[in-house]
Structure 1
Amino acid sequence: MLSGVRSLCKGWSVRGMSLSPRQINRWPSNESSEPPTDSPRVLITGAICFPAQYGKENVILSDIRRPPTEVYNMGPFVYADVLDYKNLRELVVNNRITWLNCLRLFVPSTIGAFGPSSPRDPAPDLCIQRPRTIYGVSKVHAELMGEYLHHKYGLDFRCLRYPGVVSAHTKPGGGTTDYAVQIFHDALSTGHHECYLRSNTRLPTMHISDCHRATIEFMQAPESQLSLRTYNIAAMSFTPEEVVEEIRKHLPHLRVTYNPDTIRQTIADSWPVRFDDSNARQDWGWKPAYGLSELVTDMLASIPEKNNNARFLPSGTPTPPGMRSDGGA
């Protein structure tokens, strides 16, 4: 899941600042010291999402942890602790972050913000939540704090509740929805997957590309179009059984066994079966691009394991150089 606070600010630039370790000066020396006016300078904390349309040099990624190589190579990266106000002010000034006068704050939420007493099929934007995990409790706290700051001080707070997110470039971390990532790695590396959820456990899921696009479109939507501060977004909802059948259209020999884990199964059974994202679709035009078949095709084509074991490649995929068609070196 996406984590951390992503903040976007509007309308400030500063001349004549001296260089410091927290300043990234990427402007050519023969040009004006002002950043281009047609593209904002964006500070992203958590270093996960990258709004590519603004240009690599205009997006400053930050985190309190050492970034993975792929994140570090995306563009400028700085250390930033969102609890350190002085540090954040220095970053904004020295890196000429724009979108500041009317602060726009985005905090990602999750399917985990719902609990067993919430409506499950579908879960609406506004309902009883009462999650039973500390992860979910912390997300509900963030949602409510944002709502409070919006109503009390006019903060342009925005929040999306993401379903399970599937990406070929992020290893599964053991979360409840991560079987939907691990199964692709297993399908391409060994041809066997042991699922820790029951075969009929239905959960909302989304491709990472839709996740990124939804975030950017939501942040760009005029505030006047928003009827809510926190929205559900949805793309598809499937069971392990259904994703297995879709994968078998490409890899017919995939073998799957089921060994439900009590803790993760209990969590999954307390979460929504489907998200109602009708408000996101109506207010700011949200529409997913990936369904189950598109997700499966993309994952099988993109996961690195496809280069390690040719026996499980989808039919018609060229065998990598130096590897026999039977998987031997």
Structure 2
Amino acid sequence: MLFFRQSRALATSFRTLATTATHPADVAKPRILVTGSLGQLGIGLVSLLRQKYGNENVIASDIRKPSPEIKAQGPYVFADVLNMQQLETIVVDNDINWIVNLSALLSAVGEQNIDKALAINMTGFTNTLELARRHQLRIMCPSTIGAFGPTTPRDLTPDLTIMRPTTVYGITKVHVELMGEYYAKRFGVDFRSLRYPGIISSDTEPGGGTTDYAVQIFHSALKEKSYKCYLGPETSLPMMYLPDCLEGTVDFLAAPNHLLKQRTYNMAAFSFNPREIAAKIKERIPEFEMTYAPDFRQAIADSWPKSLDDSKARQDWGWKNKFDLDAMTDDMLTALKSHHK
């Protein structure tokens, strides 16, 4: 019995060391594979990672053919996260140390394509997680405010709380968080995840999320001077400007393993509702008018937090946003004016 207790204690110690000590993926010059790299986050994240680690060390991948401009910027491979053998060949042949898995169907699109969302968001992620175990890789896969649900506290939602999502997207992201944490504890995998809020970007088109109105409204304001919003005027949600999201993600990826007290962190910058962002735009474009016609996405938004408590991310690895609502509004309008002349 004594031997059994000692063995169990020793095994527990080894598992603790595996998640806190220096990991094989703690390398100064990593070789990084980014899946889903042609999406809203991928293009900018690949660019920022290449600036930090060198073009040749960041391999972009997706299931679509890239534009000539994208392909000219650095290595690109066709990679389907559902094809485990193909992924493993890429990892081995390219000496990959880190995987950033951005392959996912977002909330609104996922509700229209449940089978596809389950396959990509769960099976695809599990494939990359298993590769991280086999080859001792660092793996980062974003989570989302959609992992929360209507029974979650909605104001300053903490990292650890009730998680009962009502969308297939949210359910798959809870799977990501729990499986990643399990692999970290069971196998010592360096798994990391950030719960992203709504991401606002001037660089790419919206990807089918419930918070996409916060991007579409800028295009419509410049082009048509009006916008019909599919959420009600008082629907407050956590948001973040893409440059902050990308910079924070790169910092999180690079953070030494011993600084991380948990595997998944909330990450946010500010919250606003459609009425508030419309008012900010109207200050800058006086003729802009907003109308409202809530659809099925209203119920999704009503199940999500109004604001996030991301104090642990700020404390543990130094997360800090640069853009507030006014600075983001100014930058978005400036960036998009050239597209709508």
**2:298 matches 1:308:** no
Q: Which residue number in structure 1 is paired with residue 76 of structure 2? A: 77
Contact conserved, 1:189 with 1:306, CA < 8 A, in 2? no
Q: Deviations over 1:127-171 (max 9, x none)?
A: 111101111101101111111111111111101000000101221
3-state SS of paired residue (1:10):
coil
Partner of 1:231: 265
Kept in 2: contact 1:9–1:42 (CA 8 A): no
Other-structure match for 1:106: 140
> CA offsets per residue over residues 151-202 of structure 1, 9 Å max, x none?
1111111010000001012212443111100100001101011111111110
Structure number with bigger Rg: 1
SS in 1 for 2:211: coil
Letter in structure 2 aligned against 1:72: K
Q: Note the alpha carbon deviations across 1:226-277, whole angstroms, 9 max, x for none.
A: 111010001010111111111122211111111122x111111110000110
The one-character-per-residue Cα deviations of 1:268-311 (angstroms, maximum 9, x if unpaired) are 111000011011011101001111011111111112x54434xx
Q: What TM-score, normalized to structure 1?
A: 0.78
Distance 2:228 2:174 in 1: 32
Any conservation in 2 of the 1:300–1:306 contact (CA below 8 Å)?
no
Q: Distance in 1 between matches of 2:30 and 2:225?
A: 46
Establish whether residue 42 from structure 1 lines up as the match of residue 14 from structure 2.
no
TM-score by length of 2: 0.76
In the TM superposition, residue 56 of structure 1 has moved relative to its aligned partner by 1.9
1:9 Cα deviation from its structure 2 partner? 7.8
**Residues 9, 67 of structure 1: alpha-carbon distance in 2 compared, 3 angstrom cutoff:** farther
Distance 2:230 2:97 in 1: 45
Distance 1:257 1:165 in 2: 22
User: Counterpart in 2 of 1:95?
Assistant: 94
**Structure 1 runs (4+) greater than 6 angstroms displaced:** none
Count of residue correspondences: 275
User: In structure 1, what is the Cα distance between the partners aligned to 2:200 and 2:70?
Assistant: 18
Q: Unpaired segments of 5 or more residues in structure 2?
A: 1-22, 99-131
| Local SS of the residue matching 1:249 | helix
Shift of 1:222: 1.0
* Equivalent runs, 1:279-318 vs 2, <5 Å: 279-303=312-336, 306-309=338-341
Q: 1:122 deviation in Å?
A: 1.3
Aligned residue for 1:118?
152
Alpha-carbon displacement from aligned partner over 1:209-232 (angstroms, at most 9, x marks no partner): 111111111111111111110100
CA distance 1:68–1:235, shift in 2 (3 Å): farther
Instruction: Quote the RMSD (CA, aligned, Å).
Output: 2.1
Is it true that 1:213 corresponds to 2:247 in the alignment?
yes
1:128 aligns with 2:128: no
Does residue 188 of structure 1 match 2:216? no
